[in-house]
């Protein structure tokens, strides 16, 4: 139930644009836009031929990212226009626990040019604000900016992974303030209670039983002792890694603090009833029987439906290619049906 950044989800195969630019900045490589041209400066010996070629190949996406960043700086800091234009009901989407709104980029591309789509950027990543520690406060922060930015008409709210709890509360607050929410779309979002330790007990009991079965098959106490010591050492090292940022640079520390604050906020959140329509877009049918709590969302909404990706869908990368087209098609089915019913 933990969300991955674009880089992590692809196993290092690609870097999201924001992460790639952060990597350049750490090397003291500066890039900026001059019209349709991308400029670059770097200390002597830092910009290798391979890295220079990578920047050249990614020129268009970097320029697009810089334009978006410039627009955000001049408007509402929480609202990132992943596609600003279009004549369909706009979507406002909360990302996972790491705040990476660009996790939606592949999905947006497959939704088509008529679909306005705005990512919601949480406080805590700009070096000036601190992460909010309550889901209700995060939702209120986003709701205030959406009401200011979204002059009239209905909206669709979306959430991914841990961001589903924030999206749920955001839809509630916007609906209560009088905004019409066509529907709430949750992409693979565990129920908040499933982030609590007690909900993970079946998982840990299963792991313990698995290790006990392995120990029973070993032929000597020495082998058993060695196996258990090795597994315990790995678990301790994993806990240490999860309990600290990947590196000590400012960006990594801010991202780590945001992730920790978001997970704690979701863990404490208890959803109240939402009178609108909830569409759960789940990666695979097995999610309904897993420990992710998909069925529990039904208890807090008036109208809930679930749709599923193919059995080949990877839950950890469901918003990225190659699974993004299928997720976009599932979302579009409800979007287009809603549009027809409105006419």
* pLDDT level of residue 94 (50, 70, 90 thresholds): very high
Stronger pLDDT, 293 or 188, i.e. the higher one: 188
Q: Answer yes or no: are the C-beta atoms of 132 and 261 closer than 8 Å.
A: yes
Condensed to tens digits (0 to 9), the pLDDT of residues 114-128 reads 999 999 999 988 777
How much is the pLDDT for 28? Answer: 85
Buried-state track 23-35, b at ≥16 Cβ within 10 A, e below 16: ebeeeebebebee
Condensed to tens digits (0 to 9), the pLDDT of residues 39-64 reads 999 888 888 889 999 999 999 888 88
For residue 100, the Cα-to-chain-centroid distance in whole angstroms is: 6
Distance CA 65, CA 67 (A): 5
* Average pLDDT estimate for 23-41: 86
Distance CA 269, CA 195 (A): 10
User: Nearest 5°: CA angle at 82, between 76 and 84?
Assistant: 70
pTM for the structure as a whole: 0.72
Distance CA 162, CA 95 (A): 8
Tell me what the pLDDT averaged over the chain comes to. 84
Which of 122, 99, 34, 45 is CA-nearest to residue 70? 34
Which of 9, 69, 7, 85 is CA-nearest to residue 33? 69
CA distances 96 to 103, 164, 167, 170, 319, Å, are 8, 8, 10, 14, 11
Q: Dihedrals φ, ψ of 119, to 5°?
A: -80, 150
- For 232, residues 6+ apart whose C-beta sits below 8 A from its C-beta are none
* Average pLDDT estimate for 69-92: 82
Distance CA 175, CA 180 (A): 6
* Average pLDDT estimate for 151-173: 95
**Tokens coding 88:** 């369909």
Which of 195, 132, 129, 118 is CA-nearest to residue 164? 195
Distance CA 42, CA 12 (A): 24
Q: Does position 301 have pLDDT exceeding 90, yes or no? A: yes
Distance CA 328, CA 108 (A): 8
**Tokens coding 123:** 């406080």
How much is the pLDDT for 248? Answer: 67
Distance CA 158, CA 240 (A): 33
Distance CA 230, CA 53 (A): 43
- Which of 46-50, 141-145, 174-178, 309-313 is the least confident region? 46-50
* Average pLDDT estimate for 182-206: 78
**Tokens coding 149:** 């930015």
Q: Dihedrals φ, ψ of 261, to 5°?
A: -65, -40
Condensed to tens digits (0 to 9), the pLDDT of residues 264-298 reads 999 999 999 999 999 999 999 988 877 677 899 99
* Average pLDDT estimate for 171-193: 95
How much is the pLDDT for 148? Answer: 87
How much is the pLDDT for 112? Answer: 94
- Is the CA virtual torsion 281, 303, 174, 256 positive or negative? negative
Distance CA 5, CA 56 (A): 23
Q: Give the highest mean pLDDT range of 41-50, 315-324, 333-342.
A: 315-324
Q: Answer yes or no: are the C-beta atoms of 317 and 9 closer than 8 Å.
A: yes
Farthest CA pair distance, the chain: 74
Q: Helix (H, G, I), strand (E, B), or coil: what is residue 301?
A: strand
């Amino acid at each position: 139930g933990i969300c991955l950044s674009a880089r992590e989800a692809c196993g290092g195969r690609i870097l999201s644009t924001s992460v790639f630019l952060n990597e350049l900045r750490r090397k003291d490589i500066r890039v900026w836009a001059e019209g349709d041209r991308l400029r670059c400066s770097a200390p002597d010996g830092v910009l290798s031929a391979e890295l220079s070629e990578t920047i050249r190949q990614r020129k268009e996406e970097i320029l697009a990212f810089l334009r978006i960043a410039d627009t955000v700086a001049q408007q509402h800091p929480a609202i990132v226009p992943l596609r600003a234009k279009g004549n369909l009901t706009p979507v406002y989407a909360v990302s996972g626990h790491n705040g990476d709104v660009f996790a939606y980029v592949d999905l947006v591309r497959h939704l088509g040019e008529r679909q306005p789509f705005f990512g919601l950027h949480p406080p805590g990543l700009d070096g000036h604000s601190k992460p909010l520690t309550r889901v209700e406060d995060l939702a209120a922060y986003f709701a205030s900016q959406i009401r200011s930015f979204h002059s009239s008409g209905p909206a669709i709210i979306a959430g991914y992974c841990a961001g589903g709890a924030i999206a749920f509360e955001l839809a509630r607050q916007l609906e209560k303030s009088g905004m019409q929410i066509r529907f709430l779309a949750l992409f693979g979002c565990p129920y908040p209670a499933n982030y609590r330790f007690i909900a993970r007990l079946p998982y840990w009991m299963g792991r313990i039983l698995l290790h006990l079965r392995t120990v029973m098959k070993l032929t000597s106490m020495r082998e058993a002792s060695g196996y258990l010591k090795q597994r315990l050492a790995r678990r301790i090292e994993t806990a240490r890694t999860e309990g600290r940022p990947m590196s000590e640079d400012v960006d990594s520390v801010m991202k780590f603090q945001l992730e920790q604050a978001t997970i704690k906020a979701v863990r404490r959140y208890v959803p109240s009833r939402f009178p609108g329509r909830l569409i759960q877009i789940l990666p695979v049918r097995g999610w309904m029987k897993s420990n992710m709590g998909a069925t529990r969302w039904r208890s807090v909404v008036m109208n809930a439906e679930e749709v599923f990706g193919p059995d080949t869908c990877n839950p950890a990368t469901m918003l990225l290619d190659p699974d993004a087209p299928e997720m976009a098609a599932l979302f579009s089915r409800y979007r287009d049906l809603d549009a027809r019913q409105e006419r």
